[in-house]
Amino acid sequence: MNPEQDPRFFALLVHRGLISAELAQAALGSEDPAGYLIRGGHVTDDSWREWVDTQAGERPSLKRYELGDLIGEGGTARVFEAVDRVEGGTVALKILRTKFCSDPVATGAFVRESKLLMELQHGHIVKGFRVAREGSSIYCAMELVRGDCLQDRLNGGERVEEELALRIVTQVAEALSYLNTHGLVHRDVKPGNIILDGEGRAVLLDLGFAVKTDSGVSAESETTAGTAHYISPEQARGQQDIDVRADIYSLGATLYHLITGSLPFAGGSSEEVMAKQVLEALSGREIRALGLSPQTHYFIEKMMAKDKENRFQDSEDLRSEVSAYLESKEEERRAEDQAATRKKARRGRRLM
């Protein structure tokens, strides 16, 4: 629909405080909403065109970057593919939603996350390039990772094959180890924050909930953070002594979701789901029904233990154990292939 006659566009204008709700209704009730506003002196022709071109400020016109397709969005920001006019190349440009640009708490969190991405250097963590303000827009330019968001796969009804899911776990565990060496806990590991590129590289996104730790104690957050379906019991309780074991739990919940296609705990509200994270035992019914390996079942059970003392105690131990299992599976396949080759050769000699 033409935005000039789209009620959703006018709702956005009202939400941003550019026009009143009454004026929006009157304009939409006319045959020519844009003309109604311009002729009535409520907006200039140039300002109206700017509102349309920038989607009421949600898709700004920037000097350094030429915006392309919208590739992701959340509650506080939208992410566009964009061309860097200065250095060339294509980036992912995360732009803070206009309504938050005047909020010091929201802008502070956005800038903090952006600077953190710029400081970190790891192959399985998205790289940040710069954070800047242009006009009323605040943005962060990041590495553009071309691939599939794992949540999109799940939304499409696609489960992830068991060994691929375990390889993803080893790569994300590497990223968590790196964060841990920098005194950071991610706190929001989930399929929606992992992209798998065309070469099988898993990349962890979104450090918006990441906190610094001091001997495993977070002094920066007093409230529950993360996504209810994946957070650890200690996060659900709102505890402050959060460490890498909380991220290991979330990675276990992610692994469960990837290979079964179902959430480990479901409910009608976030509160209900968080209560289950704390109180209910994890069911192995889905894993058994799909014929998944006992070893994978063990990994999930250990990663998602209610008591963090019973989980993997650091992500390097997790990575090492899962990698060893994957290597053993690969060795089994090589041995089977060699046996099949020898059997075929013997059969060939008998036929000669």
**68-106 pLDDT tens trace:** 998 888 888 999 999 999 999 999 999 998 888 889 999
The rounded percent of the chain whose pLDDT value lies above 70 is 94
Q: How confident is the model at residue 220 (pLDDT cuts 50, 70, 90)?
A: very low
**Which residues constitute the domain of residue 165?**
148-331
Does some domain include residue 43? no
188, 204: one domain: yes
121, 235: one domain: no
Does some domain include residue 171? yes
Distance of CA 99 to the CA centre of its chain: 22
Predicted pLDDT at 216: 44
Per-residue pLDDT for 219 more than 60?
no
94, 225: one domain: no
Strands of the 202-204 sheet, one edge to the other: 147-149, 194-197, 202-204
Residue finishing a domain among 142, 177, 201: 142
Greater model confidence, 56 or 208: 208
128, 170: one domain: no
Average pLDDT value for residue range 221-227: 60
Predicted pLDDT at 351: 65
Predicted pLDDT at 214: 63
Instruction: List the alpha helices (DSSP H) in 237-314.
Output: 244-260, 270-279, 285-289, 294-303
Average pLDDT value for residue range 238-245: 89
Residues 6+ apart with CB under 8 A from 81: 67, 68, 69, 71, 90, 91, 92, 93, 144
**53 phi-psi bin (left φ>0, alpha ψ -120 to 50, beta other):** alpha
Active-site residue, from 188, 206, 243, 247: 188
Query: What's the pLDDT tens digit per position in 281-340?
Result: 887 777 888 888 999 999 999 999 999 999 999 999 999 999 999 999 988 888 877 777
Predicted pLDDT at 200: 93
Mean pLDDT, the chain, as a whole number?
89
Number of domains the chain is built from: 2
User: Is the separation of the CB atoms in 183 and 214 below 8 Å?
Assistant: yes
Does some domain include residue 7? no
Predicted pLDDT at 346: 74
Strands of the 217-218 sheet, one edge to the other: 184-185, 211-214, 217-218
Query: What's the pLDDT tens digit per position in 248-268?
Result: 999 999 999 999 999 988 888
Question: What percent helix, strand, coil does the chain show, rounded to 5?
Answer: 50, 15, 35
Distance of CA 198 to the CA centre of its chain: 17
Residue finishing a domain among 142, 163, 190: 142
156, 288: one domain: yes
164, 313: one domain: yes
Predicted pLDDT at 217: 41
Residue 314 is a catalytic residue: no
Q: How confident is the model at residue 227 (pLDDT cuts 50, 70, 90)?
A: confident
Residues 6+ apart with CB under 8 A from 331: none
